[in-house]
Amino acid sequence: MDRTGLVERARGGDRHAFAELIRASGARLDATARLILRDPDLAQDAVQETLIRAWRSLPGLRDPGTFDHWLHSLVAHACIDLVRKRRRRVVEVELSPIHFTESLDHAGEVADRDLLDRALARLEPEARAVVVLHFYLDLPLPRVARMLGIPDGTAKSRLHRSLGILRSSMTIDEVTAPGAAGGHVS
């Protein structure tokens, strides 16, 4: 059965159709939540909350063709809501395993990933959500704004400000990292 048919059946209360839809989207939801929250446990909570919200709200989804975008909007909002509730909680970052091919420079890949991880951690969750939805999910900025319920201008300014923070923090980290040119002591 096609995706639209599954959405229609799920809207009508078919739990098996809903489970099939989620099975197809689950890994991407989890990855999105992890990128926004920077905490695997909180990401699981956000995905769980997303699934509950999706099941309850699914009958109100007007266009079955927008199911995936609607689902990612729900996960972004669930992430932001969780962060607002737990502002003072210390966040521990766990890097997902990276699968390398034999021909890649392993140390360089790990270092690049760590540099990006540390830079993303410096962003507020609301700004990180814009970056993740725009770059990781490859969504156009106006769609990201609609998904997050913010004006287009706000999404643009958050993205612009976030990219500036990412650039400067990655540059600073590259210069101050142990072993960087001029950054180590002989």
> Under a CB-based contact definition with an 8 Å cutoff, are residues 178 and 147 in contact?
no
Residues 6 or more apart whose Cβ sits within 8 Å of residue 186? none
**Cα 152 from Cα 47, distance rounded (Å):** 26
- The pLDDT mean for the chain works out to 82
pLDDT tens string 47-68: 999 999 999 999 998 898 899 9
Q: Calculate what percentage of the chain has a pLDDT beyond 70.
A: 78
Residue 171 CB coordination number (10 Å) = 12
Mean pLDDT value across residues 78-104: 63
Tokens 């540059």 locate to: 171
pLDDT tens string 94-147: 555 545 454 445 555 666 777 778 888 888 989 999 999 998 888 999 999 999
> Under a CB-based contact definition with an 8 Å cutoff, are residues 118 and 169 in contact?
yes
Going by C-alpha positions, the residue among 157, 40, 153, 152 that lies closest to residue 94 is 40
| Helix, strand, coil share of the chain (percent; to 5) | 75, 0, 25
Q: What is the DSSP letter of 77?
A: H
At 20, the pLDDT band (50, 70, 90 cuts) reads very high
- The pLDDT, as a whole number, for residue 122 is 87
- Polymer length in residues for the chain: 186
